[in-house]
Structure formats: C-alpha cells, structure tokens
Structure 1
Amino acid sequence: MEPQESNSAGIALLIANERSGTHLLRSLIASTKLVLAPGEVCNAAADSAHMGDPSSYYCYRHNAATANRRLMYPTIGTMRELIDGFFATLKRQAEEKGKSLFLCDIKYSHIHTFNYFWWDWLSVPFLLQYARENKIPIIHLVRENVYETVLSEIYAHQTGVWRASDPGELVHKSIRVNVPAFKARAEKLQQVITLARGWLRDCHVKEIKYSDIVDQNSMSVMDETMKFIGFDGSFKFKPGFIKTTPPYETIVENYDEIRDFFT
C-alpha cells in the first residue's frame, strides 16, 4: 500500500528531554521522504550560527521583530503572530524540498522560548496552548528509565560524542559516577517529565517510548506514529543514528553501586 498524505496542517512537534533519542526518531521519520526533520528549532547553544538558520525560531523572531517593532510588544497577540509566521516559514521550507510536513524538535527546556518574559514558567507554555487550539499533532518521546537518560548525558559530556551514525565515531571511555548526584538528577528529571505530561494532557499528543524505536524488529509503533502525524500506509524505516553509550558495565567503574537503578 502506498503512503497517503493527509495532514493539511504541515507542522508537527516533537517534545522530549535531551538524550531521549530524538535524533534517532527524527531520522526514522525523515527516512520516509515525506517529512522534513532537520533538528532543534530553538536551541541557540546547539548551533552558534543560528541567526543565519532559516529553521531557527531565534533567527525568525529577530528578523520579524526588526522589520516590525510592534512584534516586540509582549502580548498574547504578538506571541501568536510570531508563531503563525514562523510555522508558515517552516511549511514553505518543507514544500520547497518536496516534503509534506515539517517536524519541529523542541526540548523541554526550550518550550518556553515561544513565551514572553512575563509568562509563568510552571504554567502550560504558550506554544502548547497554541498547538492545542490549532490541533497540531505532538509526539512526546520519553525514555522510561530516567537513570539511563542521565547516564547517557554524563557519558556524552565526558566523550564529546553526542550523536553518531557510524561505529568509527564512537568513543569508549571509563567514567566514575557520583551516586548521590546521579540519583538526585534522575529524580529531578522524573519530576520534569511528570510536569510535561501535565502540560500535554489536553493536547493532540502521542507518547512514544524510547525502547520502542530502538528495537528495529518492532517498527509497528513507527507506522502508528506516521499515521498520527497524518500519513496512512506501511513504511520502510531506516535509522540514521546509532547508540553512543556502550553497555554500562563496561564503562562505569563503580557500576555495582548503580546497578539496581537499571533493573
């Protein structure tokens, strides 16, 4: 059966914490050739040249507000107008590349980028309210074991390898984990995930588990995900990235002290 396009909105959101598998998920979705999924759209730290990136919200907002100073006035109306214009720009980019949808990768810590300074950071971010009002599909990617997420982040910081598409790019390095700090970070991350789930409760959302996309022998969840964002049919998915963290017992010097967190 040939894939059928049905999403007229042209925009979908991918919401997750760092080190949750967003690179892998984006690559699987992009491998269908129907979706443009280049990366994060509002992470200044991820790209020093973001002001020249047409898919960066920082770039769009700067240019739009420079051209029209009224957009600097912090109101609900101007927030909505900026998002309207930004998403229209992203949809045009997708269309120019022959794609039907633009997938916006936005991490938890960047969702509030679309608010003005006076917005309560514990309240539902304006972007998610906008998505709910406009019925924009949201994929919520969650790594079930928060200790895995934290260890992945620690290892990436230690090795400098945040993503890899070839085994030759991987680095094997021994690390030692500060157990109390490790546990505290994982508990805080669980609180953030719980907060995000509350924010997303009333949205058009599909939660996906990291383990479901890592298992290449069980890709039914990916067909379901494509249907969720507007494409019917059966797809062949090809991952563009590989795991960067080796088996924990081979890299953590004091693995016996944290073993129970992974069982």
Structure 2
Amino acid sequence: MRIALLGYGKMGKTIEEIAINRGHEIVLKLEEDIDTFEIDKMDIDVAIDFSIPKAAFKNITTCFKNNIPVVCGTTGWLDDYEKAVEICKKEDAAFIYASNFSVGVNLFFELNRKLAKIMNGMKDYAVEIEEIHHTQKQDAPSGTAISLAQQIITENDQKNNWQLDHAEADEIPIKAKRIENVPGTHSVSYKSQIDTIEIMHTAKSREGFALGAVVAAEWIKEKKGIFSMKDVLSDQIK
C-alpha cells in the first residue's frame, strides 16, 4: 500500500516505521506546518493525517478531491468536521476520523459507554474526566477526553455539556495536565461522599496510536463512506 503521511512529527515518524514493517511504502511526507500540497499526479492509496489543527481541513479535503481515502487523527480542528464530511460525500471519498486510534483506547471507549449507562441516575456520584499528555500537545482538553465526555452525555440524563476545569452541575469537568514525556493517560471517575468508581487507560508509548492508524488505513483502502474505529474493529467490538 502506498501511503501519504500528512504531518511528519513524532507520530508521523512512528507511523512510518510501523507501516514499513508491515510491508507498506511511504510515498509522501509532509512536515506538520505545511498546509498546502500537490497530490493530483501522485499514486497514493491512503493518506494518514497527524498534522496540526490549522492544516488538517485543507489536507483532508484536498485528498477527497483527488479520490484518496483519509485516516485522520489530528485534533483541534473539529469545528470544520461537518464541512469535511459534506465534501467527502460529495466527492464519493472515504474518511475515518478518530480522536484516538489505539485499540486499547477504543476498548476503553466501550467500557466508558457501558459504565455511563450504569451510572445514569446515580445522583450521589459526580463524574469527572482527567487527561495527562506531553507538553508538546497543542490542544486541551485532548480529543480523547472530549470523546469520553460526549459518550457520557449521550448516556446521562443530567449532563448536557463539558467544560475545561470548572463546570456547572449539568456539565462534566475535564482536567487537562501537561507533563514531559507522557504519551497519554485518561481517567473517568464517579465520586460520592463514601467512595469513588474509576476507569483509566494509560498509554505506554505512541506505538499503540500509530499501529491503530495503520490498521485503519489498511481497512479503508478502496472503500467509500464515513467510518469510525468501531467499524475497523467491528470483529473485536460488538
């Protein structure tokens, strides 16, 4: 498979190593601060975007217009997500966006949904999310933390929004911490006066995120439509 890497920072380099080890070829590498490129004459099977928020929308939609499927893990650009989906459908292209491509995190998402459903109506428990990432991460809270909050909101009759740090009674507080050399830790806790129920995912390296992105790229090749990691992992997650 011929892969374009849109964003060639630490994650891009890790994806490159894993993709090559799995027998794929990297035919284009763009640095993170480049937001325009020419791909109309290139033979590309799939593009993987881990760029920066200001570059992501143009990168993604340029690929759609050139019939190139896109796997995107860039966060912080989602105000334009619906526009990107419209363009994808118009161009009959293929798109997977995930706030986190790690297989473990996507299993964690399923656990979060199930726990949120169980805890709905338990008024003695207050829910809170905490995320910890490396100091180079540009957005806060993380896309993964936002996904966790949105999943809880879907299952919780008392919550309708999230806020960074301080939240009202009908909102979920998300605490974001930045610490050197932390790939990513996410926890969801339900606290009462007598106990705490908590689930947590701790990434040990970037390799889990990168492997998931390459697996998604392998899966989406030659497909059309809008997909999620749940589609990619449908055999594992029922």
TM-score scaled by length of structure 2: 0.33
Q: Bigger radius of gyration, 1 or 2?
A: 1
**Structure (1/2) with the larger strand percentage:** 2
Higher relative contact order (CA 8 A, sep 6+): 1
TM-score scaled by length of structure 1: 0.31
**Structure (1/2) with the larger helix percentage:** 1
